[in-house]
Amino acid sequence: MPPSRVIVVGAGPAGLMAAGQAAARGAETLLLERMERPGRKLIITGRGRCNLTNSSPLAEFIPHFGRQGDFLRQAFHRFFSDDLIGFLTDRGVATVTERGGRVFPASQAAGEVARAMVRWVEECGAVIRTHSRVTRLRIEGGRVMGVHLGAAGVERADAVVLATGGISYPETGSTGDGQRLAAAAGHAIEPLRPALVPLVTAGDTARRLQGLSLRNVRAGLRLDGRRGAEEFGEMLFTHFGVSGPIVLTLSGRAVDALRAGSEVALAIDLKPGLDERQLDARLQRDLQAAGRRRFATILKELLPRKLIPVCADLTGIATEMPGHQIDAAQRRRLGRWLKDFRLPVTGHRPPAEAIITAGGVSLREVDPRTLESRIVPGLHFAGEILDLQADTGGYNLQAAFSTGWLAGRAAAGVRENAD
Ligand SMILES: Cc1cc2nc3c(=O)[nH]c(=O)nc-3n(C[C@H](O)[C@H](O)[C@H](O)COP(=O)(O)OP(=O)(O)OC[C@H]3O[C@@H](n4cnc5c(N)ncnc54)[C@H](O)[C@@H]3O)c2cc1C
């Protein structure tokens, strides 16, 4: 007998998908959202363009979630990127695939995805109730039996899906309620911390470079002096430190290393296309040809304008020095700096400014086949509330949609065939 009533808490991508699935499977479904409308975070994703998934195959997709990726195998086997693209196309949202396999709505409008989801949920027969904040789970005889809505009373249910997101961008409604509700029900919560977050660097170097965007550079972490992960691409200097795609990708590891008390630095290779020998030969040639031209003028061919005074300060070579006076030791110092521009990382921006939250409901206590709690029968989890986080590129939204799909069906009593 399928449960007659399912409550889904949180109308983000995970909750919308879960509610639609549960209702489409015949359950009387109520989707509770604390904000004034559903999908507040969804509409700001991908700078308003919504990078909804990635076209890379499963074997390449899963490693983007790190060690926890395997947990998602069951959900992805049942509802993956092709299914999501087909699902949205059937609902009038055409998609385009861009560089790096990133998939966006062809309209380039995240709002279109949110509207299509809401329409579908309502067509499936689920009721969406906004301004409804769940404050407590109702648990009777060890089983979830509904939710408390503060002064608004109790809503009873045979199954509950918690899809309340993480703690980043709290103005969208995600403030960690779900993790607190799960903890009160006995679930272990992996510490919540920011991931895909800008990093704070020491001194005033970043502030001097504020607004400068570097393309085609390689940046790597140095953790207690040892080489860590590296990324190639684009980064940005801000008034407090560094941001941009490659910094965000590296940030999760930097945050964890800082929490562990390690010394963290970012090493930027400004000339990744040349090895040290090739770069030295090029510098030698440039300096010989330079004659009386000033160091600052020579650097114009090597660096963006904003980096020139910083380079001069950090290499100790005066901007006024004529090229022919720069000796071999100075040239080698310049070469080393161009390959290893080091910025000590002293911290990170707060979780509120992170694209996603690392940590959450521990995966050990959730069945990956149904996303049901192993502690409280009838309770399911979907989306960022779980201890899952991935790189940028559409992976996080796909995880939200896929876990929502599976949790919604399981909450409605559908048993998928085991793999
Ligand atoms: C600026 C930004 C850009 C992003 N861009 C991308 C991108 O392009 N591609 C990508 O893959 N990922 C992106 N992400 C990440 C992605 O948005 C999240 O991973 C995804 O939204 C998680 O979905 P969710 O449904 O689990 O949670 P959320 O989207 O956070 O939704 C949770 C919902 O639960 C509601 N809620 C919370 N507590 C309660 C409660 N007690 N009672 C009732 N309702 C409650 C909240 O109001 C919210 O509506 C981006 C994130 C940010 C912040």
Regarding the beta carbon of 155 and ligand 1, being less than 6 Å apart is answered no
Regarding the beta carbon of 174 and ligand 1, being less than 6 Å apart is answered yes
- For range 400-419, the mean pLDDT: 88
Strand partners, 102: 54
Structure confidence at residue 383 (pLDDT): 98
Q: In whole angstroms, give the CA distance from residue 245 to residue 137.
A: 38
Give me the chain's average pLDDT, please: 96
Regarding the beta carbon of 51 and ligand 1, being less than 6 Å apart is answered yes
Q: pLDDT band for 414, please (50, 70, 90 cuts).
A: confident
Structure confidence at residue 4 (pLDDT): 87
Structure confidence at residue 331 (pLDDT): 96
Regarding the beta carbon of 84 and ligand 1, being less than 6 Å apart is answered no
Structure confidence at residue 290 (pLDDT): 84
Q: In whole angstroms, give the CA distance from residue 194 to residue 191.
A: 10
φ/ψ of residue 229, rounded to 5 = -60, 150
**What are the tens digits of pLDDT across the range 341-354?**
999 999 999 999 99
Q: In whole angstroms, give the CA distance from residue 27 to residue 397.
A: 25
Structure confidence at residue 137 (pLDDT): 98
Separate counts of helices (H) and strands (E) for the chain: 13, 21
**What are the tens digits of pLDDT across the range 201-254?**
999 999 999 999 999 999 999 999 999 999 999 999 999 999 999 999 999 999
Measured in angstroms, how far is the CA atom of residue 328 from the centroid of ligand 1? 54
- The pLDDT of residue 1 is above 70: no
- The pLDDT of residue 419 is above 60: no
User: Closest residue (by CA) to atom 53 of ligand 1?
Assistant: 355
Rg of the Cα atoms in the chain = 25
Reduced to 3 states, what is the DSSP secondary structure of residue 359?
A: strand
Regarding the beta carbon of 167 and ligand 1, being less than 6 Å apart is answered no
Q: pLDDT band for 397, please (50, 70, 90 cuts).
A: very high
- The pLDDT of residue 3 is above 60: no
Distances (CA, A) of 278 to 77, 272, 294: 47, 11, 23
| Residue whose token pair is 């939204």 | 397
pLDDT above 70 coverage of the chain, percent: 99
Q: pLDDT band for 133, please (50, 70, 90 cuts).
A: very high
Please give the structure tokens belonging to residue 363.
């995966």
**What are the tens digits of pLDDT across the range 294-305?**
999 999 999 999
**What are the tens digits of pLDDT across the range 22-77?**
999 999 999 999 999 999 999 999 999 999 999 999 999 999 999 999 999 999 99
- For range 392-413, the mean pLDDT: 97
- For range 117-141, the mean pLDDT: 98
Structure confidence at residue 2 (pLDDT): 55
Regarding the beta carbon of 394 and ligand 1, being less than 6 Å apart is answered yes
For each of the domains in the chain, give its residue range(s) and CATH number, in order of start.
5-194+355-411 (3.50.50.60), 198-348 (no CATH)
**What are the tens digits of pLDDT across the range 139-187?**
999 999 999 999 999 999 999 999 999 999 999 999 999 999 999 999 9
User: Closest residue (by CA) to atom 31 of ligand 1?
Assistant: 12
Please give the structure tokens belonging to residue 314.
């950090």
